[in-house]
């Protein structure tokens, strides 16, 4: 019966379209849902700044015992194709009908939280204050969580339910991510009659690329150029190009050095050839690394042991809302909740993994240290 209830909650959630920047309806649903569960519901006014479809939402389960407060976090937006999602169950796994994503990333996390709250209330499990954070715009750059004012949260330790693979995996480190746009400007000229009068953006790019590193640079550092655009005709010296790239490293200092090197190499190449460059750099995420001796991990490790879960510590190459929390002084790790093949129409999640995730959330809440500890 509990599984059926959880599956129904999940199906209800994914049936509400919430592609990034269109999260309003699912937030309205969650506000009613949590108020029905007697939680206090608050929200910020961040959508004025973010232009997302909703504000950050916090549902608070007031404590019944003197334990340290905790927070849990999920994001409410999905990627495309994410409209008209219908859930089907096959061999204990939940899929979409096949022409959309499933949306387990991250609505499975939300369904897991709802089920955990219901079981805590029904079983009368003692607990400290627990704050549940729901943020829009994660899929397009952690926008919602980055705009959240952390003084809205009492808890200093928390868990993001937004990672794939079997329950027991925990992301303890994630990279600082910079994205950059480089506009190269040269001088156009007829390529057959007077190419000498032109300054080729291609020459500037080729010069810069001799020095710029791409690919895997070390175990926790990568760099990539993913977009090169420019040119309209073969008989014109190419005078403008747009380059889009990124650098990532778990070591923030290394990421900072790399992005400065990229910028310098483009500027040097432009100067050499007599052209110019405009460079726009955006820091999309700030990296973090959580050790076993920090309270957020101590509570997780104790809880996983109690449930007999195999713990696998992972270093992610991507970002999550955990990056935003850690950047702003809240210790958070990202927990796996069972989904697989996200962002594809083959996405699925085993029901048994969802059930394990529910028990893990409950166990973490039970094992939150007493305030005096």
Assign 3-state DSSP to the chain and report helix, strand, coil percentages, each to 5.
35, 30, 35
Which are the contacts of 311, defined by CB distance < 8 A and separation ≥ 6?
Answer: 168, 169, 170, 301, 304, 305
181 carries an active-site annotation: no
Q: What angle do CA 89, 117, 297 make, to 5 degrees?
A: 95
131 carries an active-site annotation: no
Whether the ω angle into residue 296 lies within 30 degrees of 0, i.e. cis, is: no
**Which candidate, 354, 369, 307, 373, places its Cα nearest to that of 161?**
354
What is the SS3 assignment for 28?
Answer: helix
Ramachandran quadrant class, 329 (left: phi over 0; alpha: psi -120 to 50; beta: rest)? left
Partnered with residue 331 across adjacent β-strands are: 157
Instruction: Tell me which of 68, 131, 138, 340 is the catalytic residue.
Output: 138
Instruction: Tell me which of 23, 68, 77, 340 is the catalytic residue.
Output: 77
- CA neighbours within 13 Å on the CB side: how many for 126? 8
The label of the residue with tokens 């029901």 reads 351
Active site residues: 77, 138
């Amino acid at each position: 019966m509990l599984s059926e209830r959880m599956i129904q909650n999940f199906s209800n959630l994914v049936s509400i379209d919430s592609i990034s920047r269109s999260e309003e309806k699912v937030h309205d649903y969650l506000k009613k849902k949590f108020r029905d569960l007697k939680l206090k519901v608050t929200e910020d006014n961040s959508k004025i700044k973010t232009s997302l479809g909703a504000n950050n939402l916090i549902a608070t389960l007031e404590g019944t015992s003197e334990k340290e407060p905790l927070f849990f976090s999920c994001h409410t937006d999905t990627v495309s194709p994410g409209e008209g999602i219908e859930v089907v169950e096959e061999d204990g796994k939940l899929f979409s009908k096949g022409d959309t994503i499933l949306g387990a990333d991250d609505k499975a996390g939300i369904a897991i939280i709802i089920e955990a709250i219901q079981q805590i209330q029904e079983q009368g499990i003692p607990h400290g204050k627990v704050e549940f954070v729901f943020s829009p715009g994660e899929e397009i750059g952690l926008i919602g969580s980055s705009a959240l004012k952390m003084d809205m949260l009492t808890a200093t330790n928390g868990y993001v339910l937004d990672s794939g693979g079997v329950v027991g995996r925990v992301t303890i480190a994630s990279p600082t991510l910079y994205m950059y746009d480089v506009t190269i400007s040269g001088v156009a000229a007829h390529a057959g009659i007077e190419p000498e009068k032109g300054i080729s953006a291609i020459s500037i790019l080729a010069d810069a690329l001799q020095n710029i590193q791409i690919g895997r640079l070390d175990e926790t550092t990568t760099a990539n150029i993913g977009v090169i655009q420019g040119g309209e005709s073969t008989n014109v010296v190419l005078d403008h190009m747009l380059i889009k790239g990124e650098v990532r490293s778990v070591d923030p200092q290394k990421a900072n050095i790399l992005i400065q090197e990229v910028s310098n190499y483009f500027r040097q190449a432009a100067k050499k050839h007599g052209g110019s460059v405009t460079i726009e750099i955006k820091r999309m995420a700030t990296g973090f690394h959580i050790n076993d001796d920090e309270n957020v991990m101590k509570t997780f490790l104790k809880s996983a042991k109690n449930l007999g879960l195999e713990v696998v510590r992972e270093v992610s190459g991507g970002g999550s809302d955990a990056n935003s929390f850690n950047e702003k002084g809240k210790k958070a790790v990202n927990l796996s909740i069972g989904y697989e093949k996200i962002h594809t129409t083959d996405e699925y999640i085993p029901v048994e993994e969802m059930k394990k995730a529910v028990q893990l959330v409950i166990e973490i809440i039970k094992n939150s240290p007493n305030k005096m500890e």
